[in-house]
Amino acid sequence: MEQELKNVLGFKRRDMVLVKDIAKLALAAAGAALVTGAVRTQVLWAKPFIVLAVCGSVFAVVYLVLVFLLRIPSDEEKMIVYERLMPILPAWLRLKGNPT
């Protein structure tokens, strides 16, 4: 089955480099899920909306931190986020200089 898929798609060993970031994203998601699961066990006493809000926030923060620690976004992608985010942030939160 795997060999047939490789033949149909024309997937070669050199194409594995292209899948590298997808594997890193999967790793970041798994790490964020583990941390979120641990946090969820601590807030099960709360109302469901509170559990959802806390767990969603924890997942988002941990995922973003792991994405940057694994160096997934390119310099160009970081610059796009920088250019779109800086105008809407208050002055005291704006970065000085280039983010790359």
pLDDT tens, 57-75?
Answer: 999 999 999 999 999 998 9
The burial class, CB within 10 Å (0-12 / 13-18 / 19+), for 29 is middle
Question: Length of the chain, please?
Answer: 100
Q: What are the backbone angles phi and psi of residue 64, rounded to the nearest 5°? A: -65, -40
Given a cut of 70, whether residue 100 has pLDDT beyond it is: no
pLDDT digits over 32-54, tens only?
999 999 999 999 999 999 999 99
Report the C-alpha gap between 47 and 66 in whole angstroms.
28
Write down the domain spans for the chain.
Answer: 2-69, 74-100
Q: Which pTM does this prediction carry?
A: 0.76
pLDDT digits over 8-39, tens only?
777 777 777 778 889 999 999 999 999 999 99
Report the C-alpha gap between 29 and 98 in whole angstroms.
28
